[in-house]
Structure 1
Amino acid sequence: MTTHTAIDFLSPGDAGWDTARTPWHLLADQRPASIARPADVADVIDAVRFARTHGLRVVAQSTGHGAAALGPLHHALLLRTGQMNDVTVDPRARTARVGAGARWCDVLTAVTPHGLTGLHGFSAGVGVAGYVLGGGLGWFARRHGLASEHVRSFEVVTADGERAQVDRDREPDLFWALRGGGGVGVIVTAIELELLAVREAYAGALWWPMTRATEVAHAYREWVGTVPETLTSSLRLMHFPPLPGLPDALRGRALVQLTLADIGEDGEAALAPLRALAPEIDHVGRVPAAALGQIAGDPVDPLPARSHSRLLGSLTAGTIDTLVALADPRVTTLELRHLGGALRRPEHPGAGGGLDAEALVFASGVPATRAHELALRDTFAAIDTLGPAADRDTLLTFAGRGDAAVPAASRERLQRVRAAHDPDRLLGDR
């Protein structure tokens, strides 16, 4: 393959190839035709033009958290955007311009000194671009909706290799599509995000032994019907492996974890009914907003894990019983994430639309053995029987791609937008 001189290109066999092709999600064995590592927008333009000349499609990726959802890449140029991680803050306007390769931890480092934060997810190590393009469901969701609703503009490179600005006035259809519909028909190089004036929250985790899972899970179901929209929470049934890097209180144990963040005035009063269940571990209190990306304890280092999710239109007592029964030791995490609130009524909906669901179920684990693989498969199948929300099965940030992860009402319009901007399907997965 012809070597490009203006941008950092790698081909199979080059030094650093295996490192460059390996995503955060280690089960995704990415084998693209070539890899480009752009440092700026000019490099992205060169890469797109290079790909068109050589008959390759272009797949952009920052961290690779969603890499398992991609199809084969053997006819693709993999655009690893990690070097494009600049963050510029306008504290007066409460906005940040974020490069396509930035992670949420990069954003938090830049905005925290100004008393601001972003609508990040449970883990601060996730890439901003993929998270926002897929909707973005985080700690502020019940109060402020999806992160994709809080985008001012996108900077993109088109399928023709041209630079463009996308907002409500310029390319409004594309602006709609990029907010929750994935990277549709362009390569996003930067995003202008609205920020929140939040300095701290009442947040953290409570833990009980798994023997109390039924009691705690049913109490959780009743409790979420009473909490204010300022409070977002998650209940997890966790099986921790006996690894030396884990804290003594968690290593090798089966535990129920309640994690929450309340940006209202009286989180302590809201939590009181569940705290009355006498958790074994109580790590909830006032924390800096910048710490919210760590309170769930999501893994930072790359993992060879499989996962599956399902949106639930309602949360019944029978659902709780089913979930508790599914808490297999070979399934690391079985999570119930409370939704509702502002998620149901977006002010400026994009392709992600409103989220007419009560909860999201998420399961994950490492298929270390055949038995683990089978347990995960059975758990995923059982989750599917719990029933979808009205308009989709899950969210793009959990599924990675597919019509089942965007609202039914958005699908035809998304296809039209892609056809208008990328008729040859040069950009993105197929």
Structure 2
Amino acid sequence: MRTVKFMISLILILILVACQLPEEKEYQSYFSESPSLVSENEINNNKLIEIWTPEDVVSNTLRYFSHQYEEYEFEVTVVDRLDLVDTYYEALLTNNEPDLMIISAQDVGAFSGLDMFETLNVEPYYNHQFFSKRPTRELEKYINDDGEMYGFPIHFFPYVTLYRADILGEYGFPTDPDELAAYISDVDNWLNMVTTLYEDGLYAYESTQTILEWALDTTYPFDGDYQYLYQAEPFSNLIDVLIELDRLDYDLDLSIWRTPGHQALKNDRLVMIQGASFMDDIIHDWFPEQEGKWRVTTLPFGMRGIDKETGLVATIPKNANNKSIVWNLVRALSDDLLNLHALSTNHPLFDQDNLGEFYLEVLNQPAIGKPSMLDKTAQLLWENSVYRVNQGYPLNETFFQQTHNQVIEQVRNNRRVLSNN
């Protein structure tokens, strides 16, 4: 009954808000180290294992994993991201859920309060050797108020700053990744760099809209106690930067995904950008002649986080069949995808070594917030603010305070709904 009431509450909240690839390898399971999930008498005769995911990161792993369970059939269904929350809710409410639900890091908050998934940080799922190889900060995001891990992160790209070390060095700015990270963590330092470069026709950011977008794409607006975090540091530091850039009236519109920004990148004018760690491949493919001229460091202003849009979290519904096999698959997926970061040592774009170590360090640093059932509330209101930035609204304290007030008021309404159910 508690679960049904909670689901009804979530649906009511959504209505309110709306009104506003690895190589093949031999797989070794560690599951035998833990107690069996089910007794021999409870083994389900269902030989079909269903997997739902917004992105097919599963098929490559299944190429070798399925050989361990040849009597089983694995069926992967790619769910449209726009329909994911509704599709998964309906499946959970009607007991038609698959055996493995993979959820985007952007949407996982909508499921964070449900008592409908296996708890993964206790036996028989928990294995110290396996868990200890993952970034602790990432694991902690998916532990609910009761200390139960409802989801396991299997895919995550840290958001980082990519910069032209050769050009920054010409202007006397730090080029060592650690030194530059310390320098741009200070708002005044970052603005000084931006202003100095701008005077010579060089650019250290794409646009104010882009800065706000990556800030929203890498953070969660609430902490574990549902306290709103965007009015406090470090997010407030970023807002101060946006206000100052608007006052300076630089009026940059250099998104690298559009012609002006792409050309600025090509012509050595755009010398610093923020993006997910896979941006190294994209820039290298675009401009191989810039090989060895770039380096990578952390985000400015003390910001940290992953790319929520590409991040993926595995959950096992309590009604799933063959849970031991499903968990072994989650572990295999996690190992394969983690190797994208952990085994990375260097990249031809960068004049820099030990990238895997750097990315794991970033993933282990504190990020803003954790997924919550209130995320969609803030997301829609902040998306409206991004739209207004695009329309040329002046960025001042009033602009951002209005958004803060809207979020806080909507959260108050949502809590009222929850308390009445």
Q: Which TM-score applies when normalising by structure 2?
A: 0.27
Q: Which has the higher strand share?
A: 1
Structure of higher CA gyration radius: 2
More helix as a share of residues: 2
